[in-house]
Structure 1
């Protein structure tokens, strides 16, 4: 099986990239699966929902080539893994823009007779968020629950993509940063466990 791991961080030496790399190593170490990394920052993906995107949404234009390429990359995947730093209790703007532009009507979902048809039930999702605050802050303020509502439910459930893993790694975690790398490796080894 094949996993697509998507990151969005401009610093190639960032903890986010190291976690993603270890996750990929975990997937490949099983000897049965492959992985592709999509580094939106390095690839220069344009996250802006532009006039052409709006025209497509209204049925006035075809899907742009950059969006089509991302959809094709996702179509080749048996699982999607997002590894991202938490910015303002959500995705970085570039990753959110990738969702806005790629997970569109006609591909991720449809509307028929006033109801939503979820089209991504075949695409299990694994989320690995990396934050700087401590666990008490996330729990006291309800931030992680809010992120799960917004991302797990509001985006992926809306499209029918089941969220299998939703992890929050924090800089205050015991054994940081090595504990994050170990967990990422283990997550990678289990990405397809529910499908085997």
Structure 2
């Protein structure tokens, strides 16, 4: 089996990159393969331009950089997104990647007359978010539910993809990173054996 790991953080020494590396290590230890997409290092352009709008309207084919990212996903049995939580959501770089890559005609088909056709029903998604706040803060303010509605349901369910695991690794700036790195490695080792959709969980 093959996983595409997409990481969004400008600092290669960050905990986000460390977590992504441990997920990759776990995948390798399980005998599976992976590809790492480092959006910052690869200078992916997240801006949704007039060219992307033309794709959405069915007036033009996707740009070459979008086609390349779609091909990466098509080669994968699982998509893993690793990212820090910025303002209770994902970074703009990752959101822009989704805006452009999960395009009408590839991730879904939509037209006013025909309605919606979900095209990514075979894709399994794993979300690994690095959170600065503690679990109680997320629970008290309803951030868990808001992020699940926005990301798990609003993005991936709309395209038919199934979110298998949705992890929040809390207190990233105050807790010993060893527990987060261990959780990431375990996720990688079990990536293709997780049978059901999971609720967001805190790191041990």
TMscore range, shorter length: over 0.9
Gaps of 5+ in 2: 196-204
How large is the RMSD of aligned CA atoms in angstroms? 1.6
The answer to whether residue 16 in structure 2 is matched with residue 11 in structure 1 is no
SS in 2 for 1:4: strand
Gaps of 5+ in 1: none
Tell me how far apart the structure 1 counterparts of residues 169 and 194 of structure 2 sit (CA, whole Å).
Answer: 22
Residue 48 of structure 2: aligned partner: 49
Higher helix share: 1
Q: 1:172 to 1:194 in 2, by over 3 A?
A: closer
TM-score (norm 1): 0.95
Alignment of 1:91-110 (within 5 A): 91-110=90-109
Residue 147 of structure 1: aligned partner: 147
Matched residues, number? 194
Q: 1:180 to 1:62 in 2, by over 3 A?
A: same
Residue 131 of structure 1: aligned partner: 131
Tell me how far apart the structure 2 counterparts of residues 123 and 135 of structure 1 sit (CA, whole Å).
Answer: 29
Determine if contact 1:135/1:172 at 8 Å carries over to the other structure: no
Alignment of 1:1-196 (within 5 A): 1-31=1-31, 33-111=32-110, 113-171=113-171, 176-194=176-194
Tell me how far apart the structure 2 counterparts of residues 193 and 120 of structure 1 sit (CA, whole Å).
Answer: 20
Offset at residue 60 of structure 1 (A): 2.2
